[in-house]
Structures are given as C-alpha cells and as structure tokens.
Amino acid sequence: MKKTKRRFERYPGVECIIHSLGADEKIAQRLAQMGVLPGATLQIIRLAPFGTTVEVSVDSGQSFAIRDEYLTALKCQILAMPLTYPDVRLHTTYRIRTLFGGRKFQQRMETQGIHPGLFIKIVNLTKPRVILQLIEHEKTVKLGRGEAEKIIIEVTNA
Amino acid sequence: MPERAEKVVVALSSIPNTGKTTLFNRLTGSSQTTGNWPGVSVEKKVGRFTLGEFEISLVDLPGAYALSPVTEEENIVRTYFLKTPPAVILNIIDASNLYRSLGLTLQMCTSGLPMVVAVNMIDKTTQLDIPLLSTHLGVPVIPISARSGQGVPDLQQALYEVIKEPERTHIPHISCPPVLEEAAKELSRKIIPGGALEKMDSNFLAMRLLEEKTFADSIQKTGLAAVINQWRDRVEKTTGEQIPITCAKCRFNAARGLILETTRKQSAPPDERSKCIDNILLHRWFSLPLFLLIMFLLFQAVYGLGAPLQDLIGQGFDAAEAWLRVQPFISRQSDWLQSFLFDGLWQGLGVVTSFFPIVALFFIFMSLIEDSGYMARAAFLMDHLMHRLGLDGKAFINLLLGYGCNVPAIMGTRILSSHHNRIITILLIPFTLCIARLQVFVFLTTILFSPVIAPFILFSLYLSSFIVIVLTGFFLKVLRIAGKPEPFIMEIPPYRMPTISGVALKTRQELKDFLYRAAPLIIAGVIVVWFLTHFPADVPAAGAETWAGRLGHLFSPLFNPLGIHWQETVALLFGLIAKEIVVGAMAVIYGGGDLSNQVFQHISPLQGLSFMVFTLFYTPCVATIAAIKAESGSWKITLFSLILGLVIAWLASLVLYQTGLALGLR
Ligand SMILES: Nc1nc2c(ncn2[C@@H]2O[C@H](COP(=O)(O)OP(=O)(O)OP(=O)(O)O)[C@@H](O)[C@H]2O)c(=O)[nH]1
Ligand SMILES: [Mg+2]
C-alpha cells in the first residue's frame, strides 16, 4: 500500500526497512560503508531537543546520530509505528510489536494486559485519551498520549 | 636479510572507535611523536618499538570506514595506502560488533599486503571462532584486549612472524555481481602496477580504479582511462547504483556470512547500560539542563582549578625575577641586556609556563568526556545549533571553552570530526571573550562607568561576542574557506569507563606538543613585542619615540576614527603578549601615577567602549596565534585569522564610535 510521504523520522519508535539509500552520492556512500544498506531495518530512537538531529539504531546493533534531511531522502517502508503516528487508523486491527520504554513502563502496561504480540483495535484517537480495544481480552483500555507514543504497533495481514 | 636492526613500517588502521589509539599506546608506550598529516590538520601519530631484530615504526592512521574516501580522514588513509604502502597492515576488529569492522577488514585483506588482524575488546565476547576467521581472511587473527593488555604478546609474535615471512597464503575472494567481477578481471589484466603499487593484488587495484574517480588519475597508464569509464558506465547501468555502494554491499554480505560462520551465539545482546544512561542524559526535557550542568562543571573544573595555579606560577616567576635581578652576575650586565632577559625572554617563559595548568586540566577533562562517550551525545544535542554555522555539535564545546582561554580550546579542536570543522572552529574561537580579556574589561568599566551601568556593559560585550561568532560563522560558511562540510552521520558509541593511563598519556602528549610546537612561537612573539616597545635603545620604554610609539603614530589615521589614541594602540600591541598586560602597559605608557585617574582623564566612556570592543575582537595574544599555527599547520590560516580579527575589530569599533558620536554620546 502506497501512502503519502510522512516525515516518519519525526516519530520515535518508528521502524522501517530501507529500500534505497537516496540520491545524494556522498551520504549514500557514507551509509553504505558504515554497513547501512538496503534491506537493513532502522528504528528512530529519539529526536535531539531542537529536532533536526535524530538518533537511529540499525539492526546490526549500531546507533547513529544523523540529520533528519538525510533520513527523509531514504526510501523506506514503514514496518512499525507508535499508536500516535498519523497514518494509524481507527477500527483497524494491529499487532503490538514492542513496548518502547523502560522496564517500569513495560510493567505498567503488563498490568493493564498490554504486551507485545497482542492484537488490538483503536476505538478512540482524539486527544487527550487513546482508547484501545484488546481483541483477545475483550476489554478496552484508556491510555494517556505519552503512553500511546511508546506503544509500537505493526499492521497485520488478518 | 641484513644483520642490523631493520626498519619496518606498520600501519594501524581500522574504522573509528575500535581501540586503535589504546592499542597504539600499549605497543609504543611513550615513544610517540605527533604532527599533522601533510597539508591537513589531522593528527599524525608515529610511535616506535622493537620486535626481535626489527625496529617498528607504528603509524596510527585516522579512523576510516572504507578505502574509497568520503571524508578528509579517509582521503588521508587511502592516499597513504596507495602512495606509501606500509610493510604490514595491523587492522583492528571490534569484537563487540563484528559487522561494523569487517567491511574495512575485508577490503584491506583483498589488497594482498601482509596483514595481521587484532580482534579487540575480546573481554566483551568470547563466542568467536578465531581460527576459522583467520582461515577465511587468509591472515593471522589474534584476540586481544588493548585495554587490559591481554593477548598483546601474541599479537607481537604474530606481527614478528608476518614481518619475517610476509608472503600471503591466499587472498579472500568477495563475490560481486558478475558484471563487476568481469570488469575487475578485465582491468586487472591491463594494469601494470609500478612503484609502490607493485606489492598489491591487481584485482584489488582494478577495484580501486572502478570505485574511485580520483584515484584513477594517479595510476592509470595511457589509454586506460577510456576503458575504465566504459566499464564503470556498464557496471552502473547494470546494477543501477554507484559502484562504491555495490562494493559495500558485496563486502557486508560477505561479512554477514563470516559472522554467521564464526560466531556461536547470534548477535551480541544490546547494550542495556548505555540505553539506561541515555534515557536520562538524552531525555527529552532533562538533556539540555544536564548538558548545561556538565558544561558548567567542565568549565569550572578547568578554569576554576586552573586560574589559581596560573596565579601561583605567575607569583613564582615574579619572585624568581626579583631574586635574579639582584644577583651580581646579572646586575653587572648592561641595561638593555637585562631588559631583554627579563622583559623579553623571562616574560616569554612566564607566559608559556602559565598556560601549563590550564592546558593540562583542559585535556584531562576533555579526555574524560571524550573517552566516556559523552562527547558524541553532546554533539548530538547541540548539532542543530551548530549546523546553521556549517559545524557539528562537538564544535560547541570548543567554542564554549574558548570563553575560558582560547589556547587550549584551539588545541582541543583536534577532537572535531573533520578538517572543515576544525578550521572553521579555529577561526571562530578567537572571538570568544576569554577570561584574560574579561579582566581588562572589568578594570576599565569600573573606572569609566557607574556601578549601575558597568554590568550591562560587560553583558553587552558577551552578547556582541556571541553575535560576531554567529555572523562570522555564516560568513565563513558562505566563503567556503575550508571547503564543504562533510555529511553528519556519527556513530554513537556505548558508554565506557575512561582509563587513567589513557587520560594521562593524552594529557602528557598535549603538553609536550604545546611545548614543542606552540611555545617557541610564543617566546618569539613576546620578544618581538619587547623589541618594538623598547627600541631604539636610548628612548624611554613604551614611549612615543619607540618603534611601537612610532607605529602608533603611523596608524593613528586608522585608529582616530575609532577614538583610540596612539597610547592605547601601543597598549593593544602589548596586549599581544597577554591581555593581562594591557592594564599594566597603560600605566607605563601614560607615564606612571594613579592609573585609574590617568585613564579617567585620557579616555572618555565612549572611547573606552570602543577600545574594549577592539580588544574583544582583535587577535587575542601571541599564544593564540601560536596555537592556531600549531593546530592548523598553516601560515595561511594563521594570517587569515589575524586579518579577520583586525578587520572585524576595526569595523565594530568604527560603527560603535561613530554611531555614539552621532548620537551625541561622549
Ligand atoms: N572494554 C574494552 N574497551 C576498550 C578496549 N580497547 C579500547 N577500549 C575503549 O574503546 C574506546 C575507544 O578507544 P580508542 O583507542 O580511542 O579508539 P580509536 O580507534 O583510536 O578511536 P578513533 O580515534 O575515534 O577512531 C575507549 O574508550 C577505550 O577505553 C578493550 O580491549 N576493551
Ligand atoms: Mg584514535
């Protein structure tokens, strides 16, 4: 499915798979020589305070600081995104991929029945609350925006 | 083979942050010399040690990701390998992340040069099949921990054997798309490597020719250029991407295969400790306050501790001078010789020595920040601000520390990631308001302005320093004085504990550098100023009749529009020795008496302000000039910095003074 180009690099937690390294020769060459090649998975870790610099990690275990314009130039396919990502739709089934936070956050989510692998539907996305329907548990959970940002979901084929 | 100690060059090469410098220090101990690579201000380190009958020169090359260069550092490495190939390559692999390092290792292996691979940081993993790795790479592979020294004797033994028996058993083959292999095979038949390149594998050379447009010019024989271009086009058309990227793909595919075969456990566990620390230090809201706090502590640690030490040294020098002056063998000498000894030479020595504490403290604390891994985080946090000036985040720290003292800040630009950034930062640092200048400003503002206004004056001086740095940064960016900025893609290393020996070695090295490279220039500068202010011999020192006084008069048409009298011009000249001297010099020039009164009578507040603005922006002192020369390695940059400072100082003072006059101020 083709979607309009989102500035995916502005959403910590987004994971994507690189399809091509972009048009800028120098940057493409730099990334390639560092071992960041088409087929690698990137995850956006965090944005610097002023926003134009991004920390990303690659599946080979390295972590980079990189300017967001370079990321925009990459051709990527989004694999996973936080609940608050603009492309996330209401009433569509997603699977929780990871909980993108510290141990405390993971425990808190666990007590509410939220854990990786779970199928969910989103009932409400309007601020300030995000309401999730946990499909298997047949219940709904209310989350704060801050929590929703750290729940990384992926599209399911089902 | 000859009987006597034979000299052998071994080049240490790896991607950044694999423990190259740590291993270098371990192998060579303290027998190191540093300098700049020809033409660029990138550190060149050479160290010596003996291995049996061989005397080894170990060259610490800058970190590079591949042989086809993207950065200045990589350009140096590439040129070094192709122009003056070492007898043996010592390559380092990071055991905690094999994938990172193997790309370069594989490329180096195919060169056919004798090579030894050290798998460093073996303390972090043990799940490696070293013999198998060695078989695949076709070179000896030795697990070591550069930090603890474990495995280093084995490494030395392996090096020794390779030097004795340099023949390579086999060269690994990296499979590439057929069209690329065909191109390489075709070209390798055509090139007849001569000179330095003779030892290298022809397939490797063919690859170099294909990957790199600039390299082709340096070795191609007649008629080859057209063939290379043809193949290059054909390969790029077939694969649909640039050749260096295709090659990187091949190497990293091979690397992946190697890792699968040689590691028993799948990929190293992610570094939880670094993640936890980053969750705090790079936290969305806390990161900046924490950064500022760390910078504040750094500043205090360097200058808060350094300033009293400097004072102590200054007092020591004064006491020694007083004692020496009355010694018969000196007081017997002629007046001018005494003056030369004390006001010239001794003063120069005093200036040099006074820098020791802050240079030492500066590098102790900078190494701590650098080695711990926080420097990369700081660069990440500040990148956005500095990006506007064409710099990256690390430069922020250097500029900030310039507000203490320009000299160590300029020497510290060595940590910056590119030649471009180093030069720009070196040119910007002299506009920071250092503590020495602050002393002059505090003195003058308290005399010339009421206590209510004085703090505002100081504040606006700081503000104008910021503004000038930003404007000059833009100006230099537009001017492209140091070439193009390099793409900012920086690996963020895991946090590591700095080692005492590492910090100590670094600090010692920097002090030695300062002593050898900057100190002679500083002393020479001080003596020149002494000469100008004390000659001709028969006139009163610093008076109107000295060369300095005459220069002051000569330049008065230039300085009058700024409201600066010839006396203050002479004081500015004195200020080149060290800013602290300006005040003392004024006392001498105005002919003694109560200095506050003299200043008050001679200088109006507006003139004083203009004088301060000029002092803020013109070249800080001979020590800074010496540091710029030592770091940039270029008289052109040094001269440019001098002129830039003078022009900006003149313009700023002119605008200020004339506007002030027009507004009816005095
Ligand atoms: N745990 C561990 N850490 C090491 C070892 N060797 C080096 N380090 C650490 O790795 C970091 C990088 O070491 P350097 O020697 O500066 O690496 P380098 O390759 O010279 O880095 P660049 O000059 O930036 O390319 C330092 O913090 C060292 O303390 C080792 O054997 N084990
Ligand atoms: Mg190093």
Which of these three, B134, B164, B194, is where a domain ends? B164
Q: What phi and psi, each to the nearest 5 degrees, are found at residue B581?
A: -80, -20
The ligand with the least distance to the CA atom of B496 is 1
What CATH number belongs to A8-81?
A: 2.30.30.90
Same fold, A8-81 and A83-155: yes
Q: Please tell me which of the candidates A25, A37, A67 has its beta carbon nearest to residue B249.
A: A37
pLDDT at A2 > cutoff 70: no
The count of domains in chain B is: 4
B507 and B524 inside one domain:
no
Lowest mean pLDDT of A18-27, B413-422, B531-540, name the range: B531-540
Domain ranges within chain A, ordered by starting residue: 8-81, 83-155
Q: What is the pLDDT of residues B325-384, one digit of tens each?
A: 888 887 788 877 888 888 888 888 888 888 889 889 999 998 999 889 999 999 999 998
The CA angle B160-B162-B166, to the nearest 5 degrees, is 140
Per-residue confidence at B1, pLDDT binned at 50, 70, 90? very low
**Chain A, nearest residue to B211 by Cα:** A29
Q: What is the pLDDT of residue B571?
A: 82
A24 and chain B: CB distance < 8 Å anywhere?
A: yes
Mean pLDDT within B577-605: 76
| Residue B147 belongs to domain spanning | 6-164
* Long-range pairs of A23-30 with CB within 8 A, sequence gap ≥ 24: A23/A73, A24/A70, A24/A73, A24/B487, A25/B242, A26/B70, A26/B486, A26/B487, A27/A70, A27/A73, A27/B487, A27/B489, A28/B242, A28/B245, A29/B68, A29/B70, A29/B242, A29/B244, A29/B245, A29/B248, A30/B65, A30/B70, A30/B487, A30/B489
Q: What is the pLDDT of residue A4?
A: 46
Ligand 1 center to B496 CA (angstroms): 9
Q: What phi and psi, each to the nearest 5 degrees, are found at residue B607?
A: -65, -40
A63 and chain B: CB distance < 8 Å anywhere?
A: yes
Lowest mean pLDDT of A125-129, B36-40, B247-251, B627-631, name the range: B36-40
Lowest mean pLDDT of A132-146, B241-255, B257-271, name the range: B257-271
SS (H, E, C) B610-652: HHHHHHHHCCCCHHHHHHHHHHHCCHHHHHHHHHHHHHHHHHH
Lowest mean pLDDT of A41-45, B298-302, B586-590, name the range: B586-590
Ligand 2 center to A87 CA (angstroms): 44
Q: Residues of B with CB below 8 A from A52's CB?
A: 383-384, 387
Q: What is the radius of gyration, based on Cα positions, of chain A?
A: 16
Q: What is the pLDDT of residues B518-529, one digit of tens each?
A: 888 888 888 888
Which atom of ligand 1 is least distant from the CA of B63? Answer: 25
**Chain B, nearest residue to A27 by Cα:** B487
Which of these three, B164, B196, B214, is where a domain ends? B164
ipTM score for this prediction = 0.90
Contact B70 A30 (CB under 8 A): yes
Is B638 inside any structural domain?
yes
B424 and B458 inside one domain:
yes
Residue nearest (by alpha carbon) to ligand 1 atom 30: B121
Find, among B161, B163, B162, B185, the residue nearest to B173 by Cα.
B185
Q: Which residues surround ligand 2, an ion (CB under 5 A)?
A: B 20-21
B24 and B142 inside one domain:
yes
Q: What is the pLDDT of residues B445-467, one digit of tens each?
A: 888 888 888 889 999 999 999 99
Q: Please tell me which of the candidates B70, B248, B488 has its beta carbon nearest to residue A37.
A: B248
| Encoded amino acid at B254, one letter | A
Which of these three, B113, B131, B164, is where a domain ends? B164
B504 and B525 inside one domain:
no
Per-residue confidence at B655, pLDDT binned at 50, 70, 90? very high
Q: What is the pLDDT of residues A47-58, one digit of tens each?
A: 998 878 999 999
B510 and B533 inside one domain:
no
Contact B248 A33 (CB under 8 A): yes
Q: Is B71 helix (H, G, I), strand (E, B) or coil?
A: coil
| Encoded amino acid at B596, one letter | S
Residues of B near A (Cβ–Cβ under 8 Å) read 65-66, 68, 70, 97, 99-100, 103, 241-242, 244-245, 248-249, 252, 255, 267-268, 270, 276, 279, 282, 284, 287-288, 376, 379-381, 383-385, 387, 393, 486-492
- Which tokens in the block code for residue B223? 């008629």
What CATH number does the domain containing B159 carry? 3.40.50.300
Average pLDDT, chain B: 86
B378 and B467 inside one domain:
yes
Per-residue confidence at B218, pLDDT binned at 50, 70, 90? low
CATH of A83-155, one of 1.10.230.10, 2.30.30.90, 3.40.50.80, 2.60.40.10: 2.30.30.90
- Exposure string (b/e) for B606-640, b if CB count within 10 Å is 16 or more? bbbbbbbbbbbbbbbbbbbbbbbbbbbbbeebbeb
- Whether B146 is in the pocket of ligand 1, judged by its Cβ within 6 Å, is yes
